[in-house]
Amino acid sequence: MPEEPSITWYFDTVSPFSWIALPRIEALATRHPVAFCPVLLGAILAHWGTVGPAELAPKRLHTYRLSQFLAERAGLPMRFPPRHPFRSLEAQRLLTALGGAPAAVRACFACIWEEGQDVSDPAGFAALCGRLGIADAAALIEETEAKEGLRRATEAAIAAGVFGVPTLRIGTELFWGVDALPMAEAYLADPGLFQGEAMARLADLPVGVARRA
């Protein structure tokens, strides 16, 4: 029997789509081992020279409406925090310090996207720490070297080709976004999904025209 590929879920709590994807990732984790990996979306975008959807003025409202619509359609409680994008660095470091434990990840996402807390604000971060039962977040982050751990995890994600969040990595294959999760499930059921003629030719499809900088 072939060995099961490693599965990693890369996320940043600043992403509403990561919150929307979370229940499906949790369901997947009941059938396959999944590593929950906090990363920094800003660093990933900077590396690839791109911006997030909320950073493009015409795309901002569309992104917010779409994520709210998808959450409501999925029956997932969702309340945007008072400002977005917000600084997620401390929350990501805290989750790194906790080893990306799924229960802690869910609690953090719920604090932000269900309760609408701004975890970049001291009061919001304190509420998150209280929810996680952490008395001294700074000490925990220092003791576990979470700052360096988060940096290394983000760099490793970039090296693997991750260009946005949420991204599910199955072996060496990447599945970005909520809408790619059905394809990920299909790939797990059939690892030869991308070996058919139509799929295989996409890997070497030549560029027809390139935009000028």
Whether a cis peptide bond, with omega within 30° of 0, leads into 166 is: yes
**Which two three-digit tokens encode residue 80?**
């945007």
Query: What is the separation of C-alpha 89 from the centre of its chain, rounded to a whole number of angstroms?
Result: 13
- Answer whether 16's CB lies under 8 Å from 88's CB: no
| C-alpha span between 79 and 164 (Å, rounded) | 22
Contact 22, 105 (CB under 8 A): yes
pLDDT band at 97 (very low <50, low <70, confident <90, very high): very high
Mean pLDDT on 184-198: 96
Cα separation, 41 vs 154, in Å, equals 8
* Segment 53-78 mean pLDDT: 96
Q: Enter the tokens of residue 119.
A: 């975890």
The answer to whether 76 touches 19, Cβ cutoff 8 Å, is: yes
| In the predicted structure, residue 2 carries a pLDDT above the cut 70 | no
Would you state the pLDDT for residue 172? 96
Q: pLDDT per residue over 46-59, tens digit each?
A: 999 999 999 999 99
Share above pLDDT 90 across residues of the chain, in percent, rounded to a whole number: 95
Superfamily of domain 7-204: Glutaredoxin (3.40.30.10)
Sign of CA dihedral 80, 82, 83, 87: negative
* Dihedral pair phi/psi, residue 10, rounded to 5°: -95, 130
**How far is residue 178's CA from residue 21's CA, in Å, rounded to a whole number?**
5
Q: Give the predicted TM-score (pTM) of the model.
A: 0.96
Per-residue pLDDT for 1 more than 60? no
Q: What is the domain partition of the chain in residue ranges?
A: 7-204
pLDDT of residue 3: 73
β partners of residue 175 = 168
Nearest to 64 by CA among 95, 50, 85: 85
